[in-house]
Chain A
Amino acid sequence: MNQSQLIKSLKPKYKEFKVSLFLLKKNRLTKMALYGVVLLVLIAIIVPILLPSAQHIDQDANPQQKLLQPSLRHPFGTDELGRDVFKRVLLGTRISLQTALIAVGMALLIGVPLGAVAGYFGGFLDEIIMRFTDIFLGFPPLLLAIAIASFLGPNLRNAMLAIAISWWPWYTRIVRGQAVSLKERQFIKASKAIGSPPRKIIFKHIIPNCVAPVIVQASMDIGGVILTIAALSFLGLGAQAPAPEWGLMVSTSRNYFLNAWWYSVFPGLAIFFTVLVFNLLGDGLREILDPKTRKN
């Protein structure tokens, strides 16, 4: 019908997209970070297909070759069971990216609808939801995840859940802010006027229009989430042996690192590189999309 066309035509248009692209091209560091992210995603997808055998500890372990120095054969050396550290670091990419993505996804699933509901309805409901987010944000970062993960039982699935539970309030805050301002926009009012139910307005109009800022925030958070997963695994609350998880590898390496530096240095560098690349990308994205810095 014409009505829906009218509503569509009133929606905010993203003509600023072009400017963003221009800024991205100009910002060299952000562009390199983007390439880094693409590289990591490729590694995460391809390496586990190329190295199926390395995923099984018994096939890859070689006690005769334990704790060997880096060499051409083993660029990152070998670990205490004689496994190739390089292969395991590459394999770890998928675990880190996948868990981070799922954890952020779950946090979004909780946080976004809550924020939209709070912002759209306002009043008492808003007050209750926002005080709830205040309480969850009352924990210092990481602490809640540690507590939840230890009570749920130490494994990677619970670690993801723990991260999602401690992370959702951030998204609720952002989406609520957006929803409050969207609510006053013409296309939402028009939609209300033709009698769309709130459920439809929230899911068809409000949430889709919050996508841009939420994606920026999520991309900035991925780095932090990867770091948190590694930290939980390091404490023994995340991935369990023999998974080639970076944090876990650093944790195991503690018993050997004084005489086998490569064992702890390389997995740690992998964490650092991955988190850095995501943080740089997130930082750059924020700068590009922030109207304040945009003007200059």
Chain B
Amino acid sequence: MKNYIIKRILLGILVLLGVIAITFFLTRVIPSNPAAQWVGPRATQEQINKATIELGLDKPLYVQFGKYLKDLFQGNLGNSLRTKQPVVKELKTYIPPTLELVFFSTILAIIIGIPLGLNSARKKDQPLDHFCRFFSVGAVSLPTFWVALFLQLIFFRWLSLLPLGGQLDTRIKLLYEVPHYTGLLLFDSLIDGNFTIFFDALKHMLLPAITISLYPIGLVARMTRSALLEIIGEDYIKAARSYGLKEKLVMWKYALKNSLGTTITVLALSVGYTLVNTFLVEAIFSWPGIGSYIATAVMSLDYPAIMGVTLFSACAYIVLNLIADIIVALDPRVRV
């Protein structure tokens, strides 16, 4: 057990270093003229020369990599070409709204995906199961960016129920002072006790959250179903039923707790999907997160910004997977 965890952490660190090395190769080795690319197409020769020295491109590769690592640990990801601001500073303002969105849709994935998978497993090969399987394959087959547009069409254009995009209504922004403690708007407005802002923020979050939660819902439902199908066949479930325990208790406690290992692993994976799906969706909903940030960066080929988001997302994903694996390994009752 202990050995496994130490090994897992070491592997996590290795993967982290590997991911950093890959980004290094992408920015410094693959481009024919990294300095020119780093400062953008409109830079003067003087700026390029300056960047060459700043990035250490005149030195051997291993020195460059050392410097790259050092910059990373000091939190220096370069300046955005578009805004000329340090990327780290910009990330700090863009990350919380994305986290809020990812969090919200992960919750949706849990409260919809798990019951869906559970009932599907319980009613195997019955209409509900067919529906659930079709739904979960369908959900992972939908182009997220298109779903975003489609939902806007329905709920904004045709039904006029929900706003087109943004985080808050402009009027509300003018009327109230928008709280800013953690950057998580829903949370901050609750701290202030400002329910006008809270409900407006919730309304704005609904469409983007539903859009990006479809994929994880499908994924969680599918994995829960297959894990439970295996568990339902086990003797201890038959035994639990033979003792006359209520079906609800048998499924929701006896069976589900045994599938927890799978669920945790899948959730880590699905957060990864959700995070990247925000890249496709946030811009459509004018959501001020890293998704919008990287989408704009891609359009204007703002390399430092692209790298910043890539590094952040990859690190978050690695850490998340690491935590999931350790939780699963730590709890002797949870088995994969």
Contact = CB atoms under 8 A, between A and B. Distances in A.
The 5 closest A-B pairs by CB, nearest first: A135-B18, A268-B146, A140-B272, A138-B15, A276-B141
Contacts of A250: 143, 145-146, 149
A258 B153 contact: yes
Given A150-B306, A268-B150, A235 B295 contact: yes
Given A138-B314, A265-B150, A276-B137, 11 more contacts: A138-B19, A139-B310, A143-B310, A144-B310, A146-B279, A147-B306, A152-B30, A236-B298, A265-B153, A267-B146, A279-B137
Interface string A141-153: 1111011101110
Contacts of A235: 279-280, 295, 298
Given A140-B313, A141-B276, A235-B279, A254 B298 contact: no
A271 B295 contact: no
Contact of B11 (A134, A136, A231): A134
Nearest to B277: A142
Interface in B10-46: 11, 14-16, 18-19, 21-23, 26-27, 30-31, 37
B186 interface: no
A272 B307 contact: no
A223 interface: yes
Contacts of A148: 26
B301 interface: yes
Task: Name the interface size band of chain A.
Answer: 35 or more
25 contacts: A29-B134, A131-B14, A134-B15, A135-B15, A135-B22, A138-B19, A139-B317, A140-B313, A141-B273, A142-B276, A143-B276, A146-B279, A151-B37, A231-B144, A235-B298, A250-B146, A251-B145, A258-B157, A267-B146, A268-B147, A271-B143, A272-B146, A276-B138, A279-B141, A280-B137
A93 interface: no
Contacts of A151: 26-27, 30-31, 37, 303, 306
Task: Name the interface size band of chain B.
Answer: 35 or more
A276 B142 CA distance: 8
Contact of B314 (A140, A236, A261, A276): A140
B268 to A, nearest CB: 10
B314 A247 contact: no
A141 B314 CA distance: 10
B275 interface: yes
